[in-house]
Amino acid sequence: MPVECLAKNSETDLPAMATIAQRLLAHYDWHARALPWRAAPGASECADPYRVWLSEIMLQQTTVAAVIPYFLKFTQRWPTVDALARAQDADLMAAWAGLGYYARARNLLACARHVSDVLDGRFPDEEVELLRLPGIGPYTAAAIAAIAFKKRAVVIDANVERVVARLYAIATPLAQAKAEIRAAAEAITPTARAGDFAQAMMDLGAGLCSLRDPQCLLCPLRSGCAGHTTGNPTAFPVKSPKADKPHRRGTVWWLERADGHVWLERRTERGMLGGMRGLPGTLWDKRGREDEHVDPPLMGQWAAINRPVEHVFTHFTLTLTVQRLVVQGGDVPAGTGEWWPIDELDRAGLPTLFAKAARIFQKGGIFPKEIS
């Protein structure tokens, strides 16, 4: 349904534009989620731009439940953007381990240093200026402007897309409906309390207007929601058929020293899991080069472990064969890395992929007698 078709406030027509914001904000005032980066609904003080920015970067492709403990640890360790700007790269990457999408962490540090060194520790309050900062795209710029600076900005994430698509029963497949959804969201975004409105839309999409089980009877926008009127709100947004993810294979090498240390490489800054500690391996992360020969960090009688590691990335799935070699010490492995105590691997900040492999060899995993 086109945006212009906003009119009567009835059970069968979309609510008038002004009443959408009024109803949603009234509901938000009572039911807003209490999140550590938020100001209270209707608060006169702005939310801390640093905390808003940090939370929005962490929340990209990641759930609120997963982000909260990371956010609390980050803000305890680095309470301001200036403190974060002074963090060592390795320390930040280790603290980020497990959140995934590690380019976000590299951009986080680059942005913090720019804000601290160039902008005197102050985030810009306009979308166009925020967009110039590392790692900040249109959604994040709008969210910071609206939530931290009370500017009118149209904030659209996956939750907001779902709410708007259902509200207007937008039948265009989601991949092609971005402009239509944005126009509809633009039409209903108020000037006053734009930040609260954005967060209210996010909360609605994360809760009552969830992907598979919308609670329409409790929704403040039920009256006039075109998706609800169809009797099948879960049909919106219309999804395009998903292409099958390609499946890659590779090998990682567990090089263990007899005194209880494992060799961890430092991955290059560019590319997947850049700048992180990890296990050396083949070129599984290089599309089209997975089958290229790569030598292990040391030559020896490597033993294949009959327990592959399975992992799913955004664009492909991965199966890694794990091979193990125990050495007495003295030999220097190839590549840039360090010997790390196996019983202290939780401090190494390993990405989830390599942590899965490490668990095979830690307590409760494979013991030497099981390895031929």
Whole-angstrom distance, CA of residue 81 vs CA of residue 109: 9
The closest alpha carbon to 14, from 140, 131, 231, 166, belongs to 166
Contact 233, 225 (CB under 8 A): yes
Interstrand relation of 261-266 and 337-341 (parallel, antiparallel or unpaired): antiparallel
- Give the 3-state secondary structure of the chain: CCCCCCCCCCCCCCCCHHHHHHHHHHHHHHHCCCCCCCCCCCCCCCCCHHHHHHHHHHHCCCCHHHHHHHHHHHHHHCCCHHHHHCCCHHHHHHHHCCCCCCHHHHHHHHHHHHHHHCCCCCCCCCHHHHCCCCCCCHHHHHHHHHHHHCCCCCCCCHHHHHHHHHHCCCCCCHHHCHHHHHHHHHHHCCCCCHHHHHHHHHHHHHCCCCCCCCCHHHCCCCCCCHHHHCCCHHHCCCCCCCCCCCEEEEEEEEEEECCCEEEEEECCCCCCCCCCEECCECCCCCCCCCCCCCCCCCCCCCEEEEEEEEEECCCCEEEEEEEEEEECCCCCCCCCEEEEEHHHHHHCCCCHHHHHHHHHHCCCCCCHHHCC
Q: Which two tokens stand for residue 367?
A: 């013991």
The closest alpha carbon to 69, from 101, 41, 95, belongs to 95
Cα dihedral 98/103/105/106 (nearest 10)? 140
Whole-angstrom distance, CA of residue 299 vs CA of residue 86: 40
* Residue of 4, 11, 45, 56 with catalytic role: 56
To the query of whether residue 338 is one of the catalytic residues in this protein, the response is no
Q: Which residues are catalytic?
A: 56
